[in-house]
Structure 1
Amino acid sequence: MTEFEPHSLYSYSQEDVQRILQLAIARQADDQNKEFSYEEILEIAKELDISPDALNLAEIDWRSQRSEIQQRQAFNSYRIGKFKKRLGNYAIINGFLILLDFIGGNTLSWSLYFLLFCSLTLGLDAWNTFQTKGEEYEMAFQKWYRKHQIKKTINTVVNKWFKAWQI
């Protein structure tokens, strides 16, 4: 489309409209570093002939998706932290074994086998840590999430119990 062609000759699919509006809102937000109030969102939705109920349901879905993304980011940070700890353990143990081997015979011999085995183990561990797709990842995430929710529930119950006893 050239600049002088009338815009009324074209029609757009719903997906195209969403992308165009998303880009326009992002561009406006970048220019002004602006945040929108709920009333402004309601006004925009009204202009686009979107019902308040549909907007409310979309906001609920958005909050749910945002919460899940935040939970997944926390899980990934937890996994990376555990990996860094194991990496440090591997480095300390292998460093000690290499030093012991070198001091014992002024050469490296048997410690290289341990280094090779630990490197293989570390490589597999890194693969599992940084793999964020697939069934294993989902099962690990669900297990972590349930454990996290149980801890949160127990903390809430204990806090309520302590508050009841303080009265």
Structure 2
Amino acid sequence: MKAFESNSLRSYSQEEVQQILQLAIARQTDDGAQEFSYQQIIEIAAELQISSEAVKQAECDWILQKSDVQQRKAFDLYRQGKFKKRLGNYAIINGFVILINLLGGTGLTWSIYVLLFCGLGIVLDIWNTFQSKGEEYENAFQKWKRKHQIKQTINTVVNKWFKAFQPY
């Protein structure tokens, strides 16, 4: 858009407005440490003719998205931890197999086949562990999430039970 065009000729889509305002808010402070109260957000929304109900719903959606992102990070760390354990097991077992083969005096013969066969499993494991898109990832995440929620529920019930029977 040309710099000399008048303000009345400019028009922007909703997405462009969001991007412009996001950049303007980011530049508002140099250190990025400025925080806005909920009341300030409501006032800004009112100036933009956005209802307080829409802001409340957007805040709820934002909280859910933030929680989902945190859970996915925790799930990815969990998967990576499991992978590191399996990789360590692979290294130990194959090191032992190679040692046995070398102690047999014939050099590395049959242990190479074991190493390659197990290596194929590790390559597939790498693919599954670091693949964070797709239906298989989503299914694994949902399964982990349900299992995690069940553990939290059980821990909450057990903690309440212990508190109820604790002497004062």
Counterpart in the other structure of 1:115 = 115
Is residue 2:75 matched to residue 1:75? yes
* 1:67-106 equivalent positions in 2, closer than 5 A: 67-105=67-105
71-80 vs 3-12, which moves further: 3-12
Aligned to 1:20: 20
**C-alpha offsets along residues 55-93 of structure 1, whole Å, 9 cap, x if unaligned?**
001000110111111111111110010001000110111
User: For structure 1, which runs of at least 5 residues remain unmatched after alignment?
Assistant: none
SS at match of 1:105: coil
The change in CA–CA distance for 1:18 and 1:81 in structure 2 (over 3 A counts) is: same
- Calculate the TM-score normalised by the size of structure 1: 0.93
Structure 2 portions without partners, runs of 5+: none
For the pair 1:138 / 2:119, whether they are aligned, the reply is no
Q: Give RMSD over aligned pairs.
A: 1.5
Q: Comparing 50-59 with 100-109, which one deviates more in the overlay?
A: 100-109
The question of 1:161 aligning with 2:150 is answered no
- Give the deviation of 1:106 after TM superposition: 5.2
1: CA distance, partners of 2:127 / 2:70: 22
Q: Aligned in 2, Cα 1:75/1:103: closer, same or farther, shift over 3 Å?
A: same
Corresponding position: 1:124 with 2:124: yes
Count of residues in Structure 1 that have an aligned counterpart in Structure 2: 167
Distance 1:29 1:154 in 2: 45
2:50 equivalent to 1:50: yes
CA separation of 1:29 and 1:90: change in aligned 2, threshold 3 A = farther
Which sits farther off after the overlay, 40-49 or 153-162?
40-49
Amino acid corresponding to residue 2 of structure 1 in structure 2: K
The alpha-carbon deviation at position 8 of structure 1 amounts to: 2.2
> Partner amino acid for 1:18?
Q
TM-score by length of 2: 0.93
Amino acid at match of 1:95: G
Identity percentage of aligned residues:
69
2:150 matched residue in structure 1: 150
Confirm or deny: 8 A CA contact 1:101 1:111 kept in the other structure.
yes
In terms of mean alpha carbon deviation, does 108-117 or 45-54 score higher?
45-54
